[in-house]
Chains A and B, each alone.
Chain A
Amino acid sequence: MSKPRVAIFDFACCEGCQLQLVNLEEEILDLVNVVEPVEWREAMTESSPDYDIAIIEGSITRPQDEERLKAIRARAKVLIAMGACAAITGVNRLMNKHVEAGQAGPCVYGAAASQPHLQSGTARAAHEIVKVDYKIHGCPMDNREFSSILRSLLAGKTPFVPTYPVCVECKQKGNICRYEYNEVCLGPVIRAGCGAACPSGGFWCFGCRGYIDEPNVNAAFDVMDQYGKTIDDFKDRLELFAGREAENNAKNS
């Protein structure tokens, strides 16, 4: 059986998730034994329009990028959104209200902002434009999770992606709750899988993995009440990574 052909494409992002692939170090040599990379601009010169699995990094912001993504989707059997920018728009979502108000361009480029090559729409996640088969969450994504999802996919198994919140992993780590430090932490509603990286590093959860499928929002509000925090504090922090997910969730509920 020939190895599945994999191509990696980047859109508006920091390319930190591609870096996580390089950061697999020796393991990437194992992965190229089971898949054949045919296009990966950041690491190799070769390119090919013939691939089975397309991996998308970054958000979609301009019409030309939307067309490029649609063309990639048309060629790929499987499309994976890798990292928060592709999966849930990530931090790029913060630009949207400024783009909509017509202030993003002038803020950055001043009087030159009207030049045609500097135009941009709002940032969108890949699934808002094309069908996405799998999402790898996180900012940056966890490369062990990437490896596990890719291996599951190749073995024809459904990849394991946690449907419980970061608090579960945080408790397992034995961390003291960030609310005890008088901080607003998004752990109660955000998808686990990061090993509670930020609370374990002495910070609150920023929400980079997005909402879990069925967040217990009322329980989260109880926690905030208990510590004298408001819903606005919570929403403000959600804006960083998970704002749109939160909006969608509110619409669906």
Chain B
Amino acid sequence: MPKTVEIKVHHVTRIEGHGNIFASFAGGKVEKIEWQVPEAPRFFEAMVLGRDWQDIQTIVSRICGICSVTHSLAAIKAIEDAMRIEVSEQTDLLRVLTHYAEHVESHILHVGYLVAPDLLGAKSVLPLVKSHPDVVKTVIRLHKLGNQWMALLAGRMTHPITFKPGGFAKYPAEHELEQVKKRLQDSFSDLDVLAQTVFSLKEKLPAFLRETEYVALVDAGKYSFYHGAIGSSDTAKILPVQQFESAVNEYVSPQSTAKWAKWHRDSYAVGALARYNLNGKNLLPRARKLADALSLGKKNCNPFCNSLAQLVECYQVVEHAVEIIDKLLANGIKLEKNQAQPRAGNGAGAVEAPRGVLFHRYEFDDKGKCVKANLCIPTNQNHANIQKDFEAFAPMIADRSPEECKQLLEMLVRAYDPCVSCSTH
């Protein structure tokens, strides 16, 4: 009998939330491999019941510290859908602009602080301060840029204050937008340093391919983060956001306190790589150039390349943000009077979080009290796919040392940039 080697990772490090890995190998074969989610449930769908429509985005923002802007926006879009509240082009542009800041902050955090140590042979970013000071300083500057940009528009770095159904509670001054624009234009030199570093390390990403269904928001001709309907790499049909439940098909897994999801297959993936695979042809020039330099191709089925797609998206959102600021400044910032009133209704909203598409649905009574909620988080949608990737990846690495196997499996989880506590919500 070959000896069984077990790999147990209790609480994978350098990810948001709590996830465990269990693997057992015998004689170069995989006996068992599991991605487990033991995170404490917080029951947000129950928490919002009976709460006022004006408090909803403040509550659900707390689902996730890292994607709090996305959660607030998904809630507000769903509330506006339920109450048939229209918003101005200025509100729409300011929301997208704020949302982009979160993508930069979150992507840089993931690539720079969480993934880079694996590629540079460290256990955290701390030793890199001495070994790679210029890279770390570049990462810090870009992270800070994302945060300060977010704070200007959202009122602070985490858990936005200024968003309201119907508009904004506070508007940025035009000179502040000018300053952000200048800093965004200047940031390309830092992004180039990071891109060159990642380019030089990309061979360290395992060459693992698994044909996968990718799901993201699609919006004709655009690389969408905030608008659009639900697209899948498995079908040309586009599903309206109102019907998101028939895309996600959530179910309870005995391995997880977070629900799992599947659509056309046993699992699908969301996130930067999914967005790239569905909308990559619509990238702006600088982002396109980096995607080509990194050889991302037309459809990329290596989950480890999600971090590369995130870097491409940093270029995309910075480039597009400059265009948006130009448009806002050309129109001039107007202080709008918010006329939104509560009414009974059921509505859904979808926004691309840094780690994939996020869906919120709420139902309200005629006083604007919430009577029903359903929230489907990106990492919910990735859990089953992580498990399926594990099942395909583990046999490829079964001959490696237990230490190497452990690190490679952790790297695969990390590649998804999971928000585990968010997924359990």
| Contact call A103/B40, Cβ cutoff below 8 A | no
Chain A residues with CB under 8 Å of B124's CB are 40, 43-46
User: Given the interface contacts A43-B124, A44-B13, does A11 sit within 8 Å of B40 by beta carbon?
Assistant: yes
Least CB distance, A122 to chain B, in whole angstroms: 10
A120 and B40 contact, CB distance less than 8 A: yes
Output the least CB separation between A138 and chain B (Å): 10
Query: Which of A12, A22, A42, A140 touches B15 (beta carbons < 8 Å)?
Result: A42
Cα separation A9 to B159 with both chains bound (whole Å): 21
A14/B257 contact (C-beta < 8 A), A45-B123, A108-B46, A198-B161 known = no
State whether the Cβ of B329 lies closer than 8 Å to any Cβ in chain A. no
Tell me which residues across on chain A come within 8 A of B44, comparing CB atoms: 95
Would you give the 0/1 interface string for B59-90, flagging 1 where the beta carbon is closer than 8 Å to chain A?
A: 10011111010000000000000000000000
Could you tell me the distance between the alpha carbons of A206 and B156 in the complex, rounded to whole angstroms? 15
B259 and A140 within 8 A (CB): no
Q: Provide the bound-state CA to CA distance between A240 and B422, in Å.
A: 19
Number of residues of chain A lying within 8 A (CB) of chain B: 62
Q: Is A20 an interface residue (CB 8 A)?
A: yes
Contact of A62 among B40, B256, B421 (CB under 8 A): B40
Say whether chain B's binding surface is mostly helix, strand, loop, or mixed: loop
Q: Are A61 and B40 in contact (CB under 8 A)?
A: yes
> Between A and B, how many residue pairs show CB distances below 8 Å?
176
B254 contacts chain A at the CB level, 8 A cutoff: yes
> How far is B154's CA from A203's CA once the two chains are assembled, in angstroms?
11
Contacting residues, chain A, for B129 (C-beta < 8 A): 29
Question: Could you tell me which residues of chain B, from 119 to 149, have a CB within 8 Å of some CB in chain A?
Answer: 123-126, 129, 140, 143-144, 147
Looking at B162-170, B285-293, B360-368, the stretch in contact with chain A turns out to be B162-170
Which of A111-119, A161-169, A213-221 has 4 or more CB atoms under 8 Å from chain B?
A: A111-119
Interface pair B42/A95, CB less than 8 Å apart: yes
Closest 7 CB pairs of A and B: A16-B65, A202-B169, A201-B155, A201-B161, A44-B124, A202-B170, A112-B252
| Interfacial residues, chain A to chain B (CB-CB below 8 A) | 10-20, 22-23, 25-26, 29, 32, 37, 40-47, 58, 61-62, 65, 90-92, 94-95, 98-99, 103-105, 107-110, 112, 115, 117-118, 120, 123, 139-140, 197-198, 200-203, 206, 236-237, 240
* Pairs A–B under 8 Å by Cβ, sample size 17: A15-B17, A15-B64, A16-B159, A19-B109, A19-B158, A32-B126, A41-B13, A91-B59, A92-B42, A94-B47, A95-B46, A105-B43, A107-B43, A107-B46, A108-B41, A198-B161, A202-B168
